[in-house]
Structure 1
Amino acid sequence: MTQKIKAVSFVPRFFGAFGQFFKYMGSGDYAARCQQANKGELFAFEAEPTVITETVEVIREIEVMAPALDTVNEDGAHQLLLLLQQEARFIDFLQESIDDYADADVGAAARQIHAGCSKVLTQHFTIEVVNSAAENSRIEIPADYDAKQIKLEGRVEGAGPYTGTLIHPGWKVTDTRLPKVTNTESLTILAPAEVEV
């Protein structure tokens, strides 16, 4: 029996498309699966299921806790939002409903926002890959690897070292060049109200 899938409305599709774009660009395996689906091959939930019973022993699961911050630097967060608003009108875009706009109009706006956000990242941050190996290449991970920089997926057995396929190289900030400000109270105003008189 084929499962009926509920259609997704435009707004979730639009923002989901951004995530799918980066996932498609970041994973050769994912891109290959998308191409197969595009050729009309059945998705897993459309195909008749094959029941396979197998006893699997879970050797070890690695779970990294999210970092807990004792303090939050609100000024830095406000400053980044301010820069994104100035260069890409980022807040305007997210705060406005796009339900009534055609896909072509949204796409044109997204292109400008992408250029502005890219400018902010380039000017104020140096971002490098965590692992410089080619995607989909086989790499070896030492037993004492940094779990914050490397995320192991699949079945993890033993204490390492591990050998696996690099799905995504990861990103890390190596330099931050946010402008220095003397009056941090004004940072909460991301964009002043504009009045024509």
Structure 2
Amino acid sequence: MSNTLKPIGFLPRFFGAFGQFFKFLGSGDYAARCVAIGSGKKLADEVEPEVITKTVEVVKEVEVQAPALDSVNEDGALQLLQLLQQEARFVDFIKEGIDSYSDADVGAAARQIHNGCSKVIAQYFSIDVVNDSPENSRIEVPTDYDAKSIKLEGRVQGDGPYAGTLIHPGWKVTATNLPKVTNTDSLHILAPAEVEV
């Protein structure tokens, strides 16, 4: 492992493992890369860089800025949180401390949350990849690429076009099917308090 890497604490490791678990299941190419790293193959920063035969004087820094919003419509966000709470008890999981639970208990909870979240996403959103090329394949990025759809990693030199390795295909929402909100009075209540009498 590279000497430049610093150890990561338990909570970041847990949430990172939670995300990586689903990514590992969802992508055969990503899983293959993980297995290769686990078997001792070197990380990119441990491999000697290739010799650059072309000199470029202009270095272009690419910075993506979030669009400025005049106003925020929070109804959709609150509605999505309600649905995730109803189907997956998502807010309960995020708000509860997990330090006292065993890894097995956390893993069992993560499975239930994953099932519920998957149900919500599948029912209310159509999601597709931004780039349908296989992961780890070489692709060309045109000069006039959309910086919101494509993020260039590494040292970006010149004005393009650019050639590189697709690390992640990206995700985009192609359709949203959330039910229309007719009464916004109770949207801030993500889950009612439950009282047994």
Give the conservation status (yes or no) of the 8 Å contact 1:26–1:168. no
Q: CA deviation at 1:193?
A: 0.8
Find out whether 1:81 has 2:98 as its counterpart. no
Give the conservation status (yes or no) of the 8 Å contact 1:28–1:167. no
Q: Secondary structure at the match of 2:158?
A: coil
Show the counterpart of 1:18.
Answer: 18
Q: CA deviation at 1:165?
A: 1.3
- Name the count of aligned residue pairs: 188
The verdict on how the C-alpha distance between 1:174 and 1:40 changes in structure 2, with shifts beyond 3 A counting, is closer
Q: Secondary structure at the match of 2:107?
A: helix
Q: CA deviation at 1:66?
A: 2.0
Q: When the two structures are superposed, what TM-score results if normalisation uses the length of structure 1?
A: 0.80
The verdict on how the C-alpha distance between 1:132 and 1:185 changes in structure 2, with shifts beyond 3 A counting, is same
Query: Letter of the aligned partner of 2:104 in structure 1?
Result: A
Q: CA deviation at 1:181?
A: 2.1
Give the conservation status (yes or no) of the 8 Å contact 1:128–1:173. yes
Q: Secondary structure at the match of 1:164?
A: strand
Q: Distance in 1 between matches of 2:30 and 2:61?
A: 23
The verdict on how the C-alpha distance between 1:5 and 1:146 changes in structure 2, with shifts beyond 3 A counting, is closer
The verdict on how the C-alpha distance between 1:161 and 1:81 changes in structure 2, with shifts beyond 3 A counting, is same
Q: Distance in 2 between matches of 1:116 and 1:66?
A: 30
Q: Distance in 1 between matches of 2:143 and 2:41?
A: 40
The verdict on how the C-alpha distance between 1:59 and 1:42 changes in structure 2, with shifts beyond 3 A counting, is closer
Q: When the two structures are superposed, what TM-score results if normalisation uses the length of structure 2?
A: 0.80
Show the counterpart of 2:154.
Answer: 154
Query: Letter of the aligned partner of 1:96 in structure 2?
Result: E
Query: Letter of the aligned partner of 1:147 in structure 2?
Result: A
Query: Letter of the aligned partner of 1:19 in structure 2?
Result: G
Show the counterpart of 2:51.
Answer: none
Give the conservation status (yes or no) of the 8 Å contact 2:84–2:90. yes
Q: Deviations over 1:98-144 (max 9, x none)?
A: 11111111100100000100110000001111011111111111111
Find out whether 1:114 has 2:114 as its counterpart. yes
Give the conservation status (yes or no) of the 8 Å contact 1:140–1:161. yes
Show the counterpart of 2:101.
Answer: 101
Structure 1 gaps of 5+ residues are 51-55
Percent identity, please: 68
Give the conservation status (yes or no) of the 8 Å contact 1:124–1:178. yes
Q: Distance in 2 between matches of 1:86 and 1:164?
A: 42
Q: Secondary structure at the match of 1:79?
A: helix
CA RMSD in angstroms comes to 3.1
